[in-house]
Chains A and B, each alone.
Chain A
């Protein structure tokens, strides 16, 4: 089945939240996946760690 079904011709409506569908691409080896916390490189978003800015919301690398 083509997942584009969910996106194609649907358009987006007001007052709704949309998270894009992940499309399976590469995967980490199980050993590395367990250490990182995910099998999928595109979902791996490690915490940069405490810098001077202790406010939240920056969870990209």
Chain B
């Protein structure tokens, strides 16, 4: 995996994680408007990054579109990635 691809994936992982945190917080604080604003801003950024990544490198989810051949199966799979860019 190229350094560029790894760095973009890492950024996606960072926003994805931020969303998990706001998700869990909102599950027990559903009326917290500040938290909702924060969650929504992370969501927007996350989807932008994801669209960028999937357009360039193929889908990360089975629901997305792909060129031929079906790029969802491409390596590396998540447990094969060496995150040496950190």
Contacts and interface: CB of A to CB of B under 8 A. Distances in A.
A31 interface: yes
B13 interface: yes
A1 interface: yes
Chain B binding site: helix, strand, loop or mixed by DSSP?
helix
Interface of B: 13-15, 17-18, 21-22, 25, 28-29, 31-32, 34-35, 38, 42
Contact of B22 (A21, A22, A39): A39
Given A24-B34, A24-B35, A27-B38, A33 B29 contact: no
Chain A binding site: helix, strand, loop or mixed by DSSP?
loop
Contact of B21 (A1, A3, A31, A40): A40
